[in-house]
Amino acid sequence: MSQPTQKLRLGALIALVVGSMIGGGIFSLPQNMAARADAGAILIGWGITAIGMLTLAFVFQTLANRKPELDSGVYAYAKAGFGDYMGFSSAWGYWISAWLGNVGYFVLLFSTLGYFFPVFGQGNTPIAIGCASVLLWAVHFLVMRGIKEAALINQLTTVAKIIPLIMFVIIAAVAFKADVFTRDIWGRSNPNFGGVMDQVRNMMLVTVFVFIGIEGASVYSARAEKRTDVGRATVIGFIGVLALLVLVNVLSLGIMSQPELATLQNPSLAAVLEHIVGPWGALLISVGLAISLLGALLSWALLCAEILFATAKDNTMPAFLKKENANHVPVNALWLTNVMIQIFLLITLFSAGTYTSLIYLASSMILVPYLWSAAYAVLLSGRGETYEHASAERTKDLLIGGIALCYAVWLLYAGGVKYLLLSALLYAPGVILFAKAKHEQGEPLFTTLEKGIFTCVIAGAGLAAYGLYSGVLSL
């Protein structure tokens, strides 16, 4: 692990952040947003998201610099601030969110191919799932060749997928029509939308999904060549991706009306560009999406394995997950991740799961890790730890952490009860691995406080299971 060949430079860390965030979400953004809000509410939502996610990026930057001994960010901060079970839960939730996102990416990739080859349908036909499975294991064995080699390929795909997005922004800016954008800016003609703040709340999980990966450099902090590059990569990657996301979303609303965008098949960005320039526009976006998804699949394969490996190294996960192969790849963690992806691909086949349902569930799973990271930043600055001779910086970081924490709480509210309960259902089984790790260390399973927290998780899981059984809840 300490070999210099495994160390990642700033460019590789930025590519991990950008490559993780720019996956499939941006290519489906016009339809995903238009189905939940009109232009005015979307602008307000992006304003809230920009402030909230920027403070979260600063939180990861600050913690990376002030707590250099805490590797693998999201998980380590929760454990340091709030105990073993919270640390484990953050790692578990982050891991599930990551591989669920990959399942969604596979569905979207073959749904895109279905635009040209109907046999793939919406990405969940038997042929599509079979081809997705082949691709899954091809990525698996590529990652097995080494972290640095996979990261290099990720850099190349990150550059390749940004090119068609920039081309779209330029073409759409020229074709943008203000009268289309402002036609029904507050969505009053659609009673299903509700008020403006209802629209803003309904679009929040979409914005979370497109920013998942903002913590990518923090997860790889142990492999960074320079510790300071972790924070720099996080902020640089965030600002670049934010600009692309807002431009793609807002410009689309000036090309086609909200009702037209809401009914598009994903990847909706292809249809928007086709509306401007003809069939070659759809082809350009589809090729860009294919490259983007391949890069994102690779990024998240790396991140999934790394988070399990890091938690196993300090005994929060069972010891078998810290086994590495000759190329310093956490092999058991990678196998467990991809087996779960394979299982859920098959579930998607039989349950006809869609890209949208998968990304919403993936988004809800990452809310808890984000919440605990922001809470730890507030805790650290609030009690003055590492700020002995920096009172001004302490005040600034306390304010930033407070805003990030409020944003994380707002996201839990915006996600709604349904996804909170479904998240509990996925969090609950993790106790099996947590119990195994505690048994290996000869330690008691829970503290008194953790028993209370786990009881709430079990109660939520029970309600979710009943809801799924009775048909009140659905994926």
| Model confidence pTM above 0.75 | yes
**For residue 1, is pLDDT > 90?**
no
| pLDDT tens per residue, range 360-395 | 788 888 888 889 999 999 999 999 888 888 888 999
What does the pLDDT average to over 420-449? 92
Q: Which of 433, 464, 440, 223 is nearest to 340 (CA)?
A: 433
What is the rounded average pLDDT for all residues in the chain?
85
What is the pLDDT at residue 2?
Answer: 39
Give the span between the Cα atoms of 114 and 122, in whole angstroms: 7
**For residue 434, is pLDDT > 90?**
yes
What does the pLDDT average to over 142-170? 75
What is the pLDDT at residue 105?
Answer: 82
**For residue 462, is pLDDT > 50?**
yes
Structure-model confidence comparison of residues 355 and 436, the more confident one:
436
Give the span between the Cα atoms of 434 and 436, in whole angstroms: 5
What is the pLDDT at residue 406?
Answer: 94
**For residue 151, is pLDDT > 70?**
no
| Whole-number Cα distances in Å, 7 to 61, 80, 225 | 19, 25, 5
**For residue 6, is pLDDT > 80?**
no
Please tell me the least confidently modeled range out of 37-46, 303-312, 356-365, 432-441.
356-365
What is the pLDDT at residue 215?
Answer: 67
DSSP code at position 257: -
Q: Which of 124, 108, 117 is nearest to 26 (CA)?
A: 108
For 52-121, the DSSP string reads: HHHHHHHHHHHHHHH-TT--SHHHHHHHHHH-HHHHHHHHHHHHHHHHHHHHHHHHHHHHHHTTT-GGGT
What does the pLDDT average to over 198-218? 78
Structure-model confidence comparison of residues 244 and 122, the more confident one:
244
| pLDDT tens per residue, range 406-432 | 999 998 888 888 888 888 999 999 999
Highest mean pLDDT among 159-168, 173-182, 381-390: 173-182
**For residue 460, is pLDDT > 60?**
yes
**For residue 36, is pLDDT > 50?**
yes
What does the pLDDT average to over 12-32? 79
Give the span between the Cα atoms of 258 and 264, in whole angstroms: 10
What is the pLDDT at residue 20?
Answer: 67
What does the pLDDT average to over 61-86? 83
**For residue 165, is pLDDT > 50?**
yes
| pLDDT tens per residue, range 268-277 | 999 999 999 9
